[in-house]
Amino acid sequence: MQAQFAAHAERSEREFLMANEITFHSWDHDQNEVIEWERLGECNQCGECCTAMIRFNVAGERFETLPDGTLMFPTTNVTPKSGGTTTDGKGLWHSITRGNLTRFFEVTEQGEIGSHYCPQLLGNNRCAVQSNKTLFNKVWPMHPNQVTPYPNCSYKFDEVARWRLDEL
């Protein structure tokens, strides 16, 4: 049963990303580089990222709703940063692109495991709101840094392409 669920989860996560044309980029203003990442693997439901405090800034509208009614970002642990829809040109930002829409966020805190328990985390490490998650939650993690604090996270990342930021 567990193997069946894992196979289904892998299929549905990949299908979700592909069907929705979702891509991830990191925008490193200190290193002057933009990298497109491909996420590999599947969530093994270790629950580590669900039991850690993760805070981030978003550029633009914090409560943006996508055309299909999906909220773009969670409404807690989020701070609107720049008021615009682009980065503030400092540090490491990330973007989620879905079709013609690109939105930026900046991770400001990734706490240790046990630093915060998501209230939607069920006893079996499943998510109580799996089908109603925000886009951000559905596609987390999006960068190698976002799995580093969680040793049992089963996601890996491949670099797809790299550009100089000042040449874009």
Please give the single-letter amino acid code of residue 115: S
Three-class SS of residue 112? coil
106 is a contact residue toward ligand SF4 (CB under 6 A) = no
- Count of residues touching ligand SF4 (by CB under 6 A): 14
Among residues 34 and 43, whose Cβ is nearest to ligand SF4? 43
Structure tokens at 133: 């998650």
Q: Rounded to an integer, what distance in angstroms lies between the CA atom of residue 160 and that of residue 146? A: 17
Three-class SS of residue 103? strand
Interface with ligand SF4 (CB under 6 A), residue from 6, 9, 17, 46: 46
Q: Left if phi > 0, otherwise alpha if psi is -120 to 50, otherwise beta: which for 89?
A: left
142 is a contact residue toward ligand SF4 (CB under 6 A) = no
113 is a contact residue toward ligand SF4 (CB under 6 A) = no
Among residues 49 and 59, whose Cβ is nearest to ligand SF4? 49
34 is a contact residue toward ligand SF4 (CB under 6 A) = no
120 is a contact residue toward ligand SF4 (CB under 6 A) = no
Question: Binding to ligand SF4 (CB under 6 A): which residues in 49-68?
Answer: 49-50
154 is a contact residue toward ligand SF4 (CB under 6 A) = yes
Q: How far is the CB of 13 from ligand SF4 (least distance, A)?
A: 10
Do 85 and 25 contact (CB within 8 A), yes or no?
no
* CB neighbour list of residue 141: distance below 8 Å, 6 or more residues apart: 39, 49, 147, 153, 155
Given the rule CB under 6 A, which residues bind ligand SF4?
A: 43-50, 141, 150, 152-155
